[in-house]
């Protein structure tokens, strides 16, 4: 018996969490929190797990939408065994602790009990960690058959993994978030060499026309010359980034360009959680696949943003400010700073990644100098004086790469998750056209798919 049930993250990029039943073993793949929702609404539907066997949680990587609901799951199902890569475990310790204060500021619901620091400590200690390409066995007390699991480097962020499960005659591969192309620090993903029977794949960029996306190198050139334009006129640049993944890649990109004298040596400001995550990138640079192994992020000269008491200091001399959140969510540092930046004529805001249409980052990324924008209902309109430019440094596979994964792994059945309706449609139609005879399932939240 083989069943697949999404508890969130099907037909959307949200609280990614999928229940997989392999005969008598129950495995939960990822346990994310919806980044744009709060309280109970932001969690996967754990109630659907009642009366089902639940043995393991395997986490593909430490982004919020794949990890952050884990403490809530463990509260309800304390017997679950958690397995991640060592790097995901290290990052999870930082991000889960960091999210406690954010949750406290967001949530007022009585029935939504926020976890404690001590609970995170216990949870992290209980995580069993397995390196890439180290096979491990999943079994349960009453199981008659065993499952062999293996993590493959997914090339998305530090510690990210695709998950291979070999169960009786079936090979199942879950991509997690996967990037086949190289970034500045992380090389592209490694795929299993065996034939896969069931592929569970993300579809984030399936609706995005790749001809509109530059290669990482081309985008780096455009980014470099745009930074120089702003510096040359005496302006400062605000770059909103996710603290996990994007900060490290963009910081390394800027520093390497400065080393080659392609970007003028100006002050770089960073701060907060991202700096702690930099350490994990540094510690693991010889342990996992990595470009620029000699580069340590900690040694890049950076000024601490929390030490800035007067924001005018950031504009006195040209500077580059890398700060979270990546989508300029309300009351985050990047949101607060963006409101200062919007008023500064010679300065610029550069966006470097995807913006959800419901976020202030989306409003800013679509606006240009001279426009009047309102970031929140309760706030007055702001006339934009700064320059706004959008760049795309993607940590996800392009749509042709997603299809190349199908080609290489040659699965008979494909389950599409982690994408909006348009992306799932494009993937489904393209797979059926290029690989006739395959079975494609557009997964729907809370609806079980059964395989024979």
Find the part of the chain contacting Zn ion (CB under 5 A) among 57-65, 192-200, 345-353, 370-378. Answer: 57-65
Q: How far is the CB of 218 from Zn ion (least distance, A)?
A: 23
CA distance 18 to 162: 14
Furthest C-alpha separation in the chain: 70
Phi/psi at 19 (nearest 5 deg)? Answer: -100, 130
> Binding to Zn ion by residue 396, rule CB under 5 A?
no
CB-CB neighbours of 309 under 10 Å: 6
Count of residues near Zn ion by CB under 5 A: 2
Residues 448, 4: contact at Cβ < 8 Å? yes
Q: How far is the CB of 6 from Zn ion (least distance, A)?
A: 17
Looking at the Cβ atoms of 127 and 178, the one nearer to Zn ion is 178
CA distance 350 to 360: 14
> Binding to Zn ion by residue 34, rule CB under 5 A?
no
Looking at the Cβ atoms of 70 and 230, the one nearer to Zn ion is 70
At 361 the three-state DSSP class reads helix
> Binding to Zn ion by residue 153, rule CB under 5 A?
no
Nearest Cα neighbor of 320 from 350, 360, 345 is 350
CA distance 317 to 231: 9
Looking at the Cβ atoms of 64 and 347, the one nearer to Zn ion is 64
Q: How far is the CB of 35 from Zn ion (least distance, A)?
A: 10
Phi/psi at 136 (nearest 5 deg)? Answer: -140, 155
> Binding to Zn ion by residue 418, rule CB under 5 A?
no
CA distance 426 to 299: 43
Looking at the Cβ atoms of 11 and 318, the one nearer to Zn ion is 11
> Binding to Zn ion by residue 387, rule CB under 5 A?
no
Q: How far is the CB of 419 from Zn ion (least distance, A)?
A: 13
Q: How far is the CB of 61 from Zn ion (least distance, A)?
A: 6
Looking at the Cβ atoms of 65 and 197, the one nearer to Zn ion is 65
Find the part of the chain contacting Zn ion (CB under 5 A) among 56-64, 88-96, 344-352, 376-384. Answer: 56-64
> Binding to Zn ion by residue 202, rule CB under 5 A?
no
Looking at the Cβ atoms of 245 and 271, the one nearer to Zn ion is 245
Looking at the Cβ atoms of 231 and 395, the one nearer to Zn ion is 395
* Contact with Zn ion (CB under 5 A) among 27, 31, 33, 63: 63
Task: Provide the β-strand partners of residue 348.
Answer: 237, 387
Looking at the Cβ atoms of 154 and 199, the one nearer to Zn ion is 154
> Binding to Zn ion by residue 55, rule CB under 5 A?
no
User: CB-based burial of residue 347 (10 Å sphere; 0-12 exposed, 13-18 middle, 19+ buried)?
Assistant: buried
Residues 121, 129: contact at Cβ < 8 Å? no
Looking at the Cβ atoms of 88 and 220, the one nearer to Zn ion is 88
Looking at the Cβ atoms of 26 and 155, the one nearer to Zn ion is 155
Find the part of the chain contacting Zn ion (CB under 5 A) among 44-52, 116-124, 170-178, 312-320. Answer: 170-178
Q: How many CA atoms lie within 13 A of 433 on its CB side?
A: 7
> Binding to Zn ion by residue 249, rule CB under 5 A?
no
DSSP string covering 310-346? -TTHHHHS-EEEEES-TT--TTSHHHHHHHHHTT-TT
Residues 393, 185: contact at Cβ < 8 Å? no
Find the part of the chain contacting Zn ion (CB under 5 A) among 29-37, 172-180, 312-320, 443-451. Answer: 172-180
Pairing assessment for the beta strands 387-390 and 449-451 based on DSSP bridges: unpaired
Q: How far is the CB of 251 from Zn ion (least distance, A)?
A: 18
Residue whose structure tokens are 């404690």: 116
Find the part of the chain contacting Zn ion (CB under 5 A) among 58-66, 194-202, 382-390, 415-423. Answer: 58-66
Q: How far is the CB of 62 from Zn ion (least distance, A)?
A: 8
> Binding to Zn ion by residue 177, rule CB under 5 A?
yes
- φ/ψ region of 159 (left if φ > 0, alpha if ψ in -120 to 50, else beta) reads left
Using CB under 5 A, list all residues that contact Zn ion: 63, 177
């Amino acid at each position: 018996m083989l069943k697949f049930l999404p508890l969130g993250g099907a037909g959307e990029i949200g609280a990614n969490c999928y229940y997989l039943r392999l005969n008598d073993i129950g495995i939960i793949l990822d346990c994310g929190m919806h980044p744009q929702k709060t309280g109970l609404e932001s969690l996967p539907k754990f109630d659907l797990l009642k009366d089902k066997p639940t043995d393991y949680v395997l986490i593909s990587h430490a982004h919020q939408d794949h990890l952050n609901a884990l403490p809530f799951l463990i509260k309800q199902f304390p017997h679950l065994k958690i397995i991640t890569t060592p790097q995901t475990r290290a990052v999870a310790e930082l991000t889960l602790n960091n999210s406690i204060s954010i949750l406290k500021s967001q949530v007022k619901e009585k029935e939504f009990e926020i976890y404690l620091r001590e609970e995170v400590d216990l949870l992290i200690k209980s995580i069993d960690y397995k390196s890439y390409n180290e096979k491990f066995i999943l079994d349960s007390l009453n199981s008659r058959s065993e499952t062999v699991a293996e993590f493959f480097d997914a090339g998305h962020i530090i510690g990210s993994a695709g998950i291979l499960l070999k169960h009786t005659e079936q090979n199942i591969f879950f991509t997690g978030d996967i990037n086949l192309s190289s970034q500045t620090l992380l090389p592209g993903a490694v795929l299993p060499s065996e034939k896969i029977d069931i592929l569970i794949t993300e579809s984030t960029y399936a609706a995005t026309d790749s001809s509109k996306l530059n290669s990482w190198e081309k985008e780096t050139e455009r980014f470099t010359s745009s930074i120089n334009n702003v510096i040359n006129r005496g302006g400062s640049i605000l770059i909103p980034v996710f603290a996990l993944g994007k900060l490290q890649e963009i910081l390394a990109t800027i520093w390497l360009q400065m080393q080659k004298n392609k970007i003028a040596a100006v002050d770089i400001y960073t701060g907060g959680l991202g700096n702690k995550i930099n350490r994990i990138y540094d510690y693991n640079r010889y342990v996992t696949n990595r470009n620029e192994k000699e580069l340590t992020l900690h040694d890049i000269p950076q000024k601490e943003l929390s030490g800035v008491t007067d924001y005018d200091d950031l504009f006195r001399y040209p500077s580059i400010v890398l700060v979270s959140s990546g989508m300029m969510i309300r009351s985050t540092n990047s949101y607060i700073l963006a409101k200062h930046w919007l008023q500064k004529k010679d300065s610029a805001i550069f966006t470097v990644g995807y913006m959800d249409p419901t976020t202030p980052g989306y409003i800013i990324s679509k606006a240009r100098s001279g426009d009047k924008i309102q970031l929140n209902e309760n706030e007055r309109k702001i006339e934009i004086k700064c320059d706004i430019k959008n760049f795309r440094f993607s940590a996800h596979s392009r749509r042709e790469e997603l299809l190349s994964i199908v080609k290489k792994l040659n699965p008979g059945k494909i389950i599409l998750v982690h994408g909006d309706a348009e992306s799932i449609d494009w993937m489904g139609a393209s797979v059926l056209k290029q690989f006739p005879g395959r079975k494609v399932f557009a997964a729907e939240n809370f609806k079980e798919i059964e395989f024979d």
